[in-house]
Amino acid sequence: MIQTGGQQHEQLSSTDQKIQEFIQAFGSTDAAISAIKHFSTKPKAPSIYANNPVIMQVKDITRTYKIHRQKVEALRGVSLEVHTGEFVALTGASGSGKSTLLQLIGGLDQPTSGSITINGTDIQRLRDKKLSEFRNQTIGFVFQFFYLQPFLSLRTNVEVPGMFRHVPRKNRSPRAKELLERVGLSEYVDRLPKELSGGQIQRAAIARALLNEPKILLADEPTGNLDKRNSEEVIKLFQTIRKELGTTVIIVTHNPEIAAQADREIQLSDGVIV
């Protein structure tokens, strides 16, 4: 059937409107294009780490919060396994439950039900003191906001996790210097955070997270406050860390380009894995 000019114009306008809505959903044209590239790529080959031992197992966890008199189900029966040395990206829209899941894995919060086993330890069974010790020995945290102490040098900032473990200064100070060198900050060991760029501060935060030689590194939007170049450098650093140290890396990210560089992407929606 031949369409009239008016019908064609109406169809084009409808298409244009849908394109604009799609772009608005991602915040910018560049972000929308990145998402299209991400979702149109071929599935990855199985990770070489898939045959490694399971270092983290989450079984049917739920997390319900009470806000005033209303219950909010942040997680609704999530189960997953992560293998030693894997680089895993947790993705999903805001409010999907990915940051809640990361906090539960890190022992910063307790699930309403279900179990989390890390490196053979059921962390629900640990009392507060033992849980704190376990976190400090087994898990390193990197956050979107760097939380470096502004009045301490980079070296001392990196030493802080060792202080909580009562590691003697003669041992933790050389370790802090070595890690700052590893992340490319050997010239800034005695500088204050305010003297560094955002990307450099984030690398220092990663060095701090590695001081106690954690088996798992958890990062919540670690590139959220960085430009594209610095974001790429941070992700390359994660790749190097897991390759050279054997550290398992789990990150939360909104960025499809970053998620695509992980071995595996786990997407959440409304508190469940999709």
Cα–Cα distance, 164 to 136 (Å, whole number) = 8
Q: Closest Cα partner for 61 from 99, 123, 104?
A: 104
Instruction: Give Cα separations from 140 to 38, 58, 136, 190, 210 (angstroms).
Output: 28, 18, 7, 23, 6
pLDDT score for 2: 41
Confidence of residue 234 (pLDDT cuts 50, 70, 90): confident
Q: What angle do CA 146, 149, 154 make, to 5 degrees?
A: 85
pTM: 0.80
The residues spanned by each domain of the chain are: 5-40, 85-101+124-273
Percent of the chain surpassing pLDDT 70: 82
Q: For tokens 């809505």, what's the residue?
A: 21
Cβ of 30: how many Cβ atoms within 10 Å? 11
- CATH class of this structure's domain 85-101+124-273: alpha beta
